[in-house]
Amino acid sequence: MMPSRVVLTGVRKRFGRLEVLRGIDQIIEPGRITALVGPNAAGKTTLIKLILGLVRPAPGGTVEVDGIAVNGDPSYRQRIGYMPQAACFPEQLTGREVLDLLTGLRGQRDGLDEELIERFKLTPALDRPVRALSGGTRQKLNAAVAFLFRPSLLILDEPTAGLDPVAAGILKDKVLRAPAQGTSVLLTSHLMSEVEELAQDLIFLLDGSVAFRGTVEALLQQSGESRLERAIGRLLEAAGR
Amino acid sequence: MSMARKVLTSQLRNVARSRWILAYGLLLLGVTELLLRFGGSGERALLSLLNIVLLLLPLVSVVFGTLYIHNAREFIELLLAQPVGRGSLYAGLFGGLALPLAGTFVLGVGAPLLLQGGSEPGYLAHCLLLLGAGVLLTLVFTAFALCVAVRLDDRAWALGAALLVWLFCSLVYDGVILLLTTLFGDYPLEGPLLVMIFLNPVDLARVLLLLSFDISALLGYTGAVYERFFHGGLGASLAVLMLLICAAVPLLLGLRWFRRKDF
């Protein structure tokens, strides 16, 4: 499968009086790991939800995934794997029933990527109800679900939050290998060390606008800093924060 | 299998295993059993049960449904990130909520009624009518729950609105009817009242059931008018149709909001 390309054109979004996104024109390049960073309420989650079709852009703005406009037809989401920030599965279902539901909805039972299920040693936990699973195990299941269908676009919202260091390492290795396996990755994280470790491209959102777009190296070079955290700090200072 | 059925099956499994549903079923079973043992003959127990059904069923359906949808919000978002249409997901959520609620009611009330109920003629028909009306009320108030939960993002507001819906249909509406009959007592109100009753699912179920128990004489002239109307096949059919419309209207309104909602 070819990695996905996402094109956002003139994307604005307003919730009541609050303008969350103020005209975003960006391309998520295929086969790259792109990090979406920014302070709280910068519009990161809204941007992700726009790509997933959970939120609709204001008239005039468009979102396209592999040339298909996101406009209500859900079939394009067949290409997307999504890991939300918090694992939130029905409490009374077992992990296996959750997987069965999702594979049923995707109509894809063969050729699944079960590497994370194996590496996280999730198999015994899959037969227990979700309510009996620890927060970390739920988060592992959450990660496994995102990779399960070999998506061409992977959207990860704070992927390592709630994971122990070993599991976080396994997940990060998996993310790093994703582009070579035909997957574009868009991730958000508040951990700049994680972004530095994983991302090739960076979109820095500030108050609903893109304050920086480029490679991580370009930002470090531009700011004259050696660490991403400090480089981001410089961007915030420049914006008067 | 359609997307809606897949969502419905998993939701049904999830809701049916909920401890709240188990507690609801046991409560209905206990109350029915108590009324049958200590409430007199089967028919009298049915009449007592009627009031419980009319109060408890709408309350449980609308409150449980609203809270369930609110609690499942993140999972709904995850499902919407799959190649699933919003209409299919909405239908699955409604079915997955309404079916276990209705099933619990039918089992909790129906089992004791049918196993150890009275032997009067027409008892079985009355039981089935009570169960049917209860199922319809469950559908109506589950639809209200979806409507409220989709529209109101704040959990406390949604719960408040759900309680208001129940309060309005179960108590306030009757108060308005009572006020109108007092104010306009000198006028022939049977026609307008019949229309008003048709607009409230709880009243509609109450009148439909009360008249089937042959106690319309207690309601005087009004009772005679209702008796004539509801005892004809057309009146009863219209009542059932209206209950279905009462479920369809909030359900479709909720669907419209669900399709346009920003999650």
Amino acid symbol at A101? L
Q: Which of the residues B17, B75, B90 would you substitute to probe the A interface, choosing the one with the greatest number of A C-beta atoms within 10 Å?
A: B75
| A71 part of contact set with chain B, CB < 8 Å | no
Report pLDDT for B16.
Answer: 92
CB contact under 8 A, B78 and A84: yes
Put simply, the chain B residues between 3 and 42 with a CB less than 8 A from any chain A CB are 3, 6-7, 10-11, 13-15, 17-18
Note the ipTM here.
0.90
pLDDT band at A188 (very low <50, low <70, confident <90, very high): very high
| A104 part of contact set with chain B, CB < 8 Å | yes
Write out chain B residues lying below 8 Å of A15, CB-based.
Answer: 262
Task: Work out the minimum CA distance from B11 to partner chain A, whole angstroms.
Answer: 8
B216-240: pLDDT as tens digits: 556 555 566 677 776 667 777 888 8
CB contact under 8 A, B3 and A106: no
**Using CB atoms within 10 A of its CB, is residue B245 exposed (0-12), middle (13-18) or buried (19+)?**
middle
CB contact under 8 A, B3 and A93: no
Compute how many other C-beta atoms are within 10 angstroms of the C-beta atom of residue B225. Answer: 18
Write out chain A residues lying below 8 Å of B154, CB-based.
Answer: none
Write out chain A residues lying below 8 Å of B75, CB-based.
Answer: 88-90
Q: In what order do the strands lie in the sheet with A18-28?
A: A18-28, A6-15, A62-65, A68-69
Report pLDDT for B232.
Answer: 65
Report pLDDT for A237.
Answer: 85
Write out chain A residues lying below 8 Å of B13, CB-based.
Answer: 92-93, 97
Residue B17 pLDDT exceeds 70: yes
**In this predicted structure, which of A128-132, A223-227, B147-151, B189-193 has the lowest mean pLDDT?**
B189-193
A34-69: pLDDT as tens digits: 999 998 889 999 999 999 999 999 999 999 999 999
A108-140: pLDDT as tens digits: 888 899 999 999 999 999 999 999 999 999 999
Q: Compute the average pLDDT of residues A182-186.
A: 96
Q: Compute the average pLDDT of residues A73-84.
A: 93
Asked whether B188 and B211 are in contact (CB, 8 A), the reply is: no
Distance of alpha carbon B200 from alpha carbon B175, whole angstroms: 12
Report pLDDT for A108.
Answer: 87
Report pLDDT for A163.
Answer: 93
> Which is more confidently placed, A104 or B45?
A104
Report how many Cβ contacts below 8 Å link chain A to chain B: 80
Distance of alpha carbon B37 from alpha carbon B113, whole angstroms: 11
- The model carries a pTM of 0.90
| B70 part of contact set with chain A, CB < 8 Å | no
Report pLDDT for B206.
Answer: 86
Q: How many helices (H) and strands (E) does chain A have?
A: 8, 10
Task: Work out the minimum CA distance from B61 to partner chain A, whole angstroms.
Answer: 19
Report pLDDT for B186.
Answer: 86
Residue A87 pLDDT exceeds 60: yes
In sequence order, the β-bridge partners of residue A63 are A8
Distance of alpha carbon B217 from alpha carbon B211, whole angstroms: 9
Write out chain A residues lying below 8 Å of B5, CB-based.
Answer: none
Domains detected in chain A: 6-238 (3.40.50.300)
Distance of alpha carbon A66 from alpha carbon B228, whole angstroms: 65
Asked whether B161 and B152 are in contact (CB, 8 A), the reply is: yes
Residue ranges of alpha helices (H) inside chain B are: 3-16, 19-38, 42-71, 73-80, 86-105, 111-116, 123-151, 155-167, 173-183, 190-198, 201-212, 220-231, 233-260
Pairing of strands A184-188, A80-83: unpaired
Report pLDDT for B220.
Answer: 57
Report pLDDT for B215.
Answer: 65
Asked whether A139 and A156 are in contact (CB, 8 A), the reply is: no
